[in-house]
Structure 1
Amino acid sequence: MTVEVVSKETQMEEVVAYQPEELIKGLEEKAETPKVVLVGDGEIKKSEEPKTGEEEKNKVSEVEPKTGEEKNKESEGEPKTAEPKTGEPKTGEPKTGEGKSKESEVLSPSPALEKSSSFKEESNFLSDLKENEKKALIELRAKVEEAIIENNLFKKEEESVQEGEEKEKPIEGVKEEEKPISENEKSVEGEKEKEKPNVEKEKSDAETEKFDVEKVKSDIETEKSDVEKSNVETEKSDAGKKESEESVKEKEKSDVTNEKPNVAIEGKIEEIDKDISLWAVPLLPSKGSESTDVMLLKFLRARDFKVDEAFEMLKNTLQWRKEFKMDTILDEDFGTHLSSVAFMNGLDREGHPVCYNIYGVFENNELYQKTFGTEEKREQFLRWRFQVMEKGIHNLNFKPGGVSSLLQITDLKNAPGPSKKELRFATKQAVGLLQDNYPEFVARNIFINVPFWYYAFNALVSPFLTQRTKSKFVFARPAKVTETLLKYIPAEDIPIHYGGMKRENDTEFNIGNGGVSECIVKSGSTETIEIPAPEVGMTLLWDLTVLGWEVNYKEEFVPTDEGSYTVIIQKGKKMGSQVEPVRNSFKNRESGKVILTIENSTYKKKKVLYRHKVKSSSS
């Protein structure tokens, strides 16, 4: 039995032979364009171009069975190339396993792009910077210093006015429509052209006469000037002394008044403002403020340490703040109807102020129309959102080692869907302006209670964001909200409706006594938490929550005296997954202890968070 060996290329030719002509043309066009794939950390590599029909035929001919003459040549002693066995790859071709592994290496993205939570803030200490980062910082310092000294950091008002005038001016070189010329007009023009030589001749005669008269006048004036010159020189000698005294006085005055350096531009003198600052940080490097480098590093990191782009971003930010009047935005009053939409509340584990954005409130149509009903209202919403950002920045520390960024939490529970185009447009505009004018001010952006539709919406917004911005995003479905927030925020700073222990206007627990402990309840086991009450008349207070709950929970007071009865504070009951943290208290009439019991009958381990305190009767 004979086995015909057919290469993959010939198989492709046979498949293409049975395809329509339009599809063949499409395949040929794809074959002409080289493919580009991502290798490792952003390295771009061109894949091999597909082989032409002639090369495929040559390759097929290598596999064809040999003729009798070729067999005789081999038997005469010519070297013979070993044919690969059936099932083994040919020479030069990778094995099946190796091919797949190499292909997966080529097509797999960089690990940094897969896990957004891997982002970590860089140090602002100069000693921790890499050499290329130090070099970029020095270059940006020099650019900013030069721009401030030469007064080129902002656009000149004259330039902006000229730009507006140029837009109003008609375009040069555009001719008016030519009107048809009548026969009478043509005859008049012909007569005018005939008269032109005579007129020019009369002009030349008049000019020669005029030249003779002017020559006589000049002779008279020269004689006159010689007489006046002698008189003027005597007067100058007397006035010379007075002028020298006046010049000395004027020089003294100029030294006193010109304390600030000035720049002369087209006859005008402009004062140089060396006190230009951004968020109360001086931008002139020669002033020696250590916060200046921290601020400049923000712009460099936002533009991957490309100095020119970072400098342009800085200039654009300063110009935008000037035109948008951002330095006075904290004094503006936008009312209280948006106070529940975004607000600052607590700190994360690294000390970043936490800003909450609650879009679910826009489910209320009245509030939605009040916020986005008109173009003017949408602009007010943007200014209000920037005011919230400015309030958060006011609490930051721009010294090296200080906390110089915020943590953003965006709650999408009950948020209007993408059909609300006004909200979608305002959000897109706000995201763009925040990214362009607040570089590296968000350490991480956590989206919680994320619905399915938001992933599609995020895919639309994503192309407008930088890779660095996207690397700070964290998404959490409703069942994972508390677990996700606990990775970044301590339980005592997470609001109770998100599964934490923080209550508004809480007078019982504070920073000093509000620390939270935790324990793990294994699958099918029971854990107890004891709060001792050694004295009579003490008040015991506790907070407790279980991540995901779905456990049995009860509270009781057990007296020290064995003859006394146990007091049931709360009967044992099954706690659902959406239950908020429990707060309860008990005042004892005899010594003993409060016991909190958690019984886990599920197949997963459970994390318990709790805290408690004891108040004596005297307090």
Structure 2
Amino acid sequence: MDSSPKPAKRSLMTSLMEAATTTLQRTSSFKEDSYLASNLKPSEKRSLQELRHLLSSSSSSSKPISIWGVPISEAEDERSDVVLLKFLRARDYSARDAHAMLVRCAEWRAEFGADGVVEEELGFKELEEVVAYMHGWDRGGHPVCYNAYGVFKDKEMYDRVFGDADKLSRFLRWRVQVMERGVRMLQLRPGGVNSIIQVTDLKDMPKRELRAASNHILSLFQDNYPELVASKVFINVPWYFSMLYAMISPFLTERTKSKFVIAREGNVAETLYKFIRPEFVPVQYGGLSRPGDLENGPPKPASEFTVKGGEKVLLEIDGIEAGATITWDLVVGAWDLEYGAEYVPTAEDSYTLCVEKTRRIPATADEPIHNVFTAREAGKMVLSIDNSTSRKRKVAAYRYFVRKPSV
């Protein structure tokens, strides 16, 4: 008699989730358009010329159109082609549909006052660097916009921001303000950086309560900011997202799906590091960048490394002079390991100093290690990262500064 176990029965729900997860774990295959005229297909060039003709025909009886600070009626301005091609691509190169979309966008910008919204004080200081904000750049030079709505799980906060129609309207204006800041960071030139990276944190997001605001934001951005997002990175994705994605996937274009990147909770830093250097990733997502760090210019680059499952890594910073001060930052994605630091003097008759006693760093840690040590004698600093009790490989990064002793 065959005693081998029978295969377990699979429900429709399980099949849907597994199929979606396989799709979602792929890295983004989206390739950003260069907007170089030499790369356009003949049919695309004809659509661009037709759109320009439609604009010139309609501009004789109306005010010249300017979108995102670019006068699109001026053919000699290379930026205008970039803007026009974004609207064309959003409408599958139908010149008439793109023209209608562009005109409606220009009318909305005039009515909304979008060109001046960046300078407005809308009273949402508590949401800055929390809910929606521009922070740093990815490895390709794209500005990164972070979105996190978990704070609205608190009913008092939700009522304060979305309590009535006027508050919702003011919030939408603030959200457009953040988007306009991102647009101002773009080059909008052929071959340049012409889109942003969008990172959306789904942790604790109150879906039902935010449905109205989310729909408004999505509609505004789809209608008035076409092709301005190069990739959409979803982090801290809950288990049911795979099921939802499986249901809506047939209704999404391949171009849209190619922009999606998904990271479950515990895999955030590893995913973000593929696109963004650690010194630009916010500390709450496993990076080294704190609010305000980028205001004083580019940060010092960090060195990246991985810690394999069952591995102990020793980072040595040597050549430290007597009297020198060393400052270091260290972060490991999804920590759950032991960390310690010691100073080893060069002189053989000196004792090794315990700088930081070995301790367990939990997976929930959302701040990098930051410490300063002044050496009394020449030697080296040794940082210990012990992942011996875990089978999971983890991404990590560190950087250090050594200030020589004053003469």
Equivalent-residue separation in structure 1 for 2:26 and 2:381 (angstroms)? 44
Task: Determine helix, strand or coil for the equivalent of 1:574.
Answer: strand
Map residues 556-575 of structure 1 onto 2, 5 A cutoff: 556-575=342-361
Could you tell me which of 162, 165, 182 is aligned with 1:392?
A: 182
Could you tell me which of 169, 178, 203 is aligned with 1:413?
A: 203
Equivalent-residue separation in structure 2 for 1:618 and 1:114 (angstroms)? 52
| RMSD after superposition | 2.8
Could you tell me which of 496, 509, 518 is aligned with 2:304?
A: 518
**Residue 519 (structure 1) shift:** 2.8
**Residue 520 (structure 1) shift:** 3.4
Could you tell me which of 91, 108, 113 is aligned with 1:325?
A: 113
Task: Determine helix, strand or coil for the equivalent of 1:570.
Answer: strand
Equivalent-residue separation in structure 1 for 2:306 and 2:228 (angstroms)? 36
The change in CA–CA distance for 1:524 and 1:321 in structure 2 (over 3 A counts) is closer
**Residue 129 (structure 1) shift:** 1.7
Equivalent-residue separation in structure 2 for 1:384 and 1:404 (angstroms)? 22
- Native 8 Å contact 2:343 2:382 kept in 1: yes
What one-letter code is carried by the residue in structure 2 that aligns with 1:608? A
Could you tell me which of 361, 367, 374 is aligned with 2:157?
A: 367
Equivalent-residue separation in structure 1 for 2:56 and 2:160 (angstroms)? 46
Equivalent-residue separation in structure 1 for 2:320 and 2:111 (angstroms)? 67
- What is the aligned partner in structure 1 of residue 138 from structure 2? 348
CA deviation vs aligned residue, 1:8-56 (integer Å, no higher than 9, x gap)? xxxxxxxxxxxxxxxxxxxxxxxxxxxxxxxxxxxxxxxxxxxxxxxxx
Equivalent-residue separation in structure 2 for 1:534 and 1:379 (angstroms)? 57
Task: Determine helix, strand or coil for the equivalent of 1:118.
Answer: coil
Task: Determine helix, strand or coil for the equivalent of 1:319.
Answer: helix
- What is the aligned partner in structure 1 of residue 270 from structure 2? 483
CA deviation vs aligned residue, 1:235-283 (integer Å, no higher than 9, x gap)? xxxxxxxxxxxxxxxxxxxxxxxxxxxxxxxxxxxxx54x431111112
The change in CA–CA distance for 1:323 and 1:285 in structure 2 (over 3 A counts) is same
Equivalent-residue separation in structure 2 for 1:133 and 1:116 (angstroms)? 28
Larger Rg: 1
1:599 paired to 2:386: yes
The change in CA–CA distance for 1:504 and 1:387 in structure 2 (over 3 A counts) is closer
Task: Determine helix, strand or coil for the equivalent of 2:93.
Answer: coil
- What is the aligned partner in structure 2 of residue 551 from structure 1? 337
**Residue 135 (structure 1) shift:** 2.0
TM-score by length of 2: 0.85
**Residue 459 (structure 1) shift:** 7.4
Moved over 4 A (4+): 111-116, 453-467
- What is the aligned partner in structure 2 of residue 449 from structure 1? 236
Task: Determine helix, strand or coil for the equivalent of 1:479.
Answer: coil
What one-letter code is carried by the residue in structure 2 that aligns with 1:133? E
**Residue 332 (structure 1) shift:** 3.4
- What is the aligned partner in structure 2 of residue 253 from structure 1? none
- What is the aligned partner in structure 1 of residue 41 from structure 2? 130
The change in CA–CA distance for 1:310 and 1:607 in structure 2 (over 3 A counts) is same
- Native 8 Å contact 2:69 2:115 kept in 1: no
- Native 8 Å contact 2:55 2:73 kept in 1: yes
- Native 8 Å contact 2:270 2:394 kept in 1: no
Task: Determine helix, strand or coil for the equivalent of 2:92.
Answer: coil
What one-letter code is carried by the residue in structure 2 that aligns with 1:312? A
- Native 8 Å contact 2:268 2:333 kept in 1: no
Could you tell me which of 273, 279, 292 is aligned with 2:68?
A: 279
What one-letter code is carried by the residue in structure 2 that aligns with 1:554? G
User: Which structure has more RCO (C-alpha within 8 Å, separation ≥ 6)?
Assistant: 2
**Residue 394 (structure 1) shift:** 1.8
What one-letter code is carried by the residue in structure 2 that aligns with 1:323? E
Equivalent-residue separation in structure 2 for 1:314 and 1:289 (angstroms)? 17
- Native 8 Å contact 1:417 1:453 kept in 2: no
1:401 paired to 2:191: yes
**Residue 522 (structure 1) shift:** 3.8
What one-letter code is carried by the residue in structure 2 that aligns with 1:358? A
- What is the aligned partner in structure 2 of residue 9 from structure 1? none
Equivalent-residue separation in structure 1 for 2:319 and 2:267 (angstroms)? 36
CA deviation vs aligned residue, 1:569-605 (integer Å, no higher than 9, x gap)? 1222333222332111211111111111223313344
- What is the aligned partner in structure 1 of residue 83 from structure 2? 295
Structure 1: unaligned runs, 5 residues or longer: 1-107, 152-271
What one-letter code is carried by the residue in structure 2 that aligns with 1:382? L
- Native 8 Å contact 1:522 1:604 kept in 2: yes
1:139 paired to 2:50: yes
Equivalent-residue separation in structure 2 for 1:581 and 1:438 (angstroms)? 35
The change in CA–CA distance for 1:332 and 1:584 in structure 2 (over 3 A counts) is closer
**Residue 357 (structure 1) shift:** 1.5
Equivalent-residue separation in structure 2 for 1:428 and 1:460 (angstroms)? 18
CA deviation vs aligned residue, 1:84-136 (integer Å, no higher than 9, x gap)? xxxxxxxxxxxxxxxxxxxxxxxx99x99995711110111111222222222
Task: Determine helix, strand or coil for the equivalent of 2:237.
Answer: coil
What one-letter code is carried by the residue in structure 2 that aligns with 1:511? P
- Native 8 Å contact 1:551 1:576 kept in 2: yes
**Residue 493 (structure 1) shift:** 0.3
- Native 8 Å contact 2:320 2:379 kept in 1: yes
Map residues 581-592 of structure 1 onto 2, 5 A cutoff: 581-592=368-379
Map residues 502-517 of structure 1 onto 2, 5 A cutoff: 502-506=289-293, 511=298, 514-517=300-303
- What is the aligned partner in structure 2 of residue 527 from structure 1? 313
**Residue 458 (structure 1) shift:** 6.3
- Native 8 Å contact 1:554 1:598 kept in 2: yes
Task: Determine helix, strand or coil for the equivalent of 2:188.
Answer: coil
- Native 8 Å contact 1:113 1:471 kept in 2: no
Structure 2: unaligned runs, 5 residues or longer: 1-18
**Residue 455 (structure 1) shift:** 5.3
Equivalent-residue separation in structure 2 for 1:328 and 1:463 (angstroms)? 39
- What is the aligned partner in structure 1 of residue 28 from structure 2? 117
What one-letter code is carried by the residue in structure 2 that aligns with 1:378? L
Equivalent-residue separation in structure 1 for 2:138 and 2:41 (angstroms)? 28
Equivalent-residue separation in structure 2 for 1:449 and 1:329 (angstroms)? 31
Equivalent-residue separation in structure 1 for 2:150 and 2:24 (angstroms)? 30
Equivalent-residue separation in structure 1 for 2:283 and 2:141 (angstroms)? 20
Aligned residues: 383
Equivalent-residue separation in structure 2 for 1:144 and 1:300 (angstroms)? 13
Equivalent-residue separation in structure 2 for 1:463 and 1:384 (angstroms)? 33
What one-letter code is carried by the residue in structure 2 that aligns with 1:548? A
The change in CA–CA distance for 1:559 and 1:114 in structure 2 (over 3 A counts) is closer
**Residue 534 (structure 1) shift:** 3.8
1:576 paired to 2:362: yes
- What is the aligned partner in structure 2 of residue 500 from structure 1? 287
